[in-house]
Amino acid sequence: MRTQTVSVGKIFNIPVRLDYSWFLIFILLTWLLAGSYYPAAYPNWPVPEYWILGIATAVMFFVCVLLHELGHSVVAQRNGITVSSITLFVFGGVSQITEEATKPLTDFLVASAGLAVSLLLALGFAALQPVVAGVPPLLALAQYLTYINGLLLLFNVIPGFPLDGGRMFRAVVWGAVKNFDRATLIAAMLGRILAFLFILLGVWLIFFSSFLNGLWIVFIGWFLENASSQEVRQQTLRTLLAGHKVSQIMGRNYVTIPADISLQRLADDHILGAGRRFFIVENAGVVAGIMTLHKVREIPREEWSRTLVSQAMIPAERMDWVGPDAELWDALQKMNQDGVNQLPVMVDGRIQGVLNRENVINYLQTIRDLR
Ligand SMILES: [Zn+2]
């Protein structure tokens, strides 16, 4: 699912984005560091110093997370795997690696690269401490970054899929059983078992030891449980859809509209009249673009009569589409990535049909019922 993100540029040709939740966590982290962590650890400093240090630490923390993700992404790219973007969000970062590795060894290397970066950062900041020992704020920063990178390493090394350690574990299983899907299920299962153990341990800590530590462990367990069961669901879907093509379920009763009608006419004739939300825009029999209800709504209502469909549509060169022979699973991934519910199905610039998310879901239901 597409979340709200802000683009911050490209590194190694990989677009880096910030999820909106990142801003929240950035403010929260700065506030925790400047308001309580640093004043407790280093009393009697001037208040502004805590805040400057807090902001610097939060920025550096996210730089470290970004470097960790870049570790995965660069090794993936070197092995010919496309990385579509890196997004930093509430839990740190995630690299959108669109394809799966084709070899267990590659998968293992991509997963371990992030851990290697975190290990190097932890060691690097530890080595820096004696160097900056004379400057207390810098020392405090180096100490915190040593600690947080160590923590990141420890967390990610947990062999529960989809954490890095779990991915490495899957690669090993994959090499052993020679079946990617089965390896993913086994790794995700281990992830879920570990998640439940974390939750149990956390609950035990809450009642018999430290409430706050227990709460944290329960939270990590809950996060891991969610991520693992999400992977199991994904894997099940992929297995169900394997071998099924777009042409099997694409709809042919799409509506085409000319590019030179106004949005007002589109709204009156097609949207309000027929309740449709997706249109293929054609110009002399060639697909010129697509128009959606969403796109109409981006234009203020008072401008509808003056705005042509051609001015508001997604033009053909920027729109996403699939071929009729594409795998349904890949088409579904594409829809998820772009946050759309329909995809035009095209051959040589000519429209063949429209793939609807709803149709895919109904189809899945049918395959499931058949089993
Ligand atoms: Zn990682």
Ligand 1 centroid vs 155 CA: distance in angstroms? 10
Ligand 1 centroid vs 70 CA: distance in angstroms? 9
Ligand 1 centroid vs 111 CA: distance in angstroms? 6
- Element (DSSP H or E) covering residue 58: helix 47-78
Tell me the residue type at 43: P
Write out pLDDT tens, residues 99-156.
666 788 988 999 999 999 999 999 999 999 999 888 888 999 999 999 999 988 998 8
The predicted pLDDT at position 89 comes to 67
Is residue 226 in a domain?
no
Q: 251 and 152 in one domain?
A: no
C-beta separation of 172 from 104 below 8 A: yes
The predicted pLDDT at position 123 comes to 96
Is residue 240 in a domain?
no
Is residue 181 in a domain?
no
Beta bridge partners of 18: 6, 88
Taking the chain (371 residues) in runs of 10, the rounded mean pLDDT of each run is 69 82 85 89 86 92 90 89 75 62 86 94 95 88 93 88 88 91 88 92 90 85 84 81 86 84 85 80 84 86 87 85 87 80 85 86 83 71
Ligand 1 centroid vs 157 CA: distance in angstroms? 9
State the burial class of residue 138 (Cβ atoms within 10 Å of its Cβ: 0-12, 13-18, 19+).
Answer: middle
Ligand 1 centroid vs 105 CA: distance in angstroms? 16
Q: What is the residue range of 94's domain? A: 5-157
Ligand 1 centroid vs 75 CA: distance in angstroms? 12
The predicted pLDDT at position 2 comes to 46
The predicted pLDDT at position 100 comes to 66
Is residue 267 in a domain?
yes
CATH of residue 351: 3.10.580.10
The predicted pLDDT at position 240 comes to 83
Ligand 1 centroid vs 148 CA: distance in angstroms? 14
pTM over 0.75, yes/no: no
Q: 263 and 140 in one domain?
A: no
Ligand 1 centroid vs 52 CA: distance in angstroms? 28
Ligand 1 centroid vs 163 CA: distance in angstroms? 7
Is residue 230 in a domain?
no
Beta bridge partners of 342: 356
Q: 258 and 145 in one domain?
A: no
Own/partner contacts of 30-35, CB < 8 Å, gap of 24 or more, are 30/54, 30/55, 30/57, 30/58, 33/57, 33/58, 33/144
Is residue 304 in a domain?
yes
Ligand 1 centroid vs 114 CA: distance in angstroms? 5
Q: 250 and 141 in one domain?
A: no
Is residue 202 in a domain?
no
Instruction: Name the domain count of the chain.
Output: 2
Question: Among 107, 136, 157, where does a domain finish?
Answer: 157
* R_g over Cα of the chain: 25
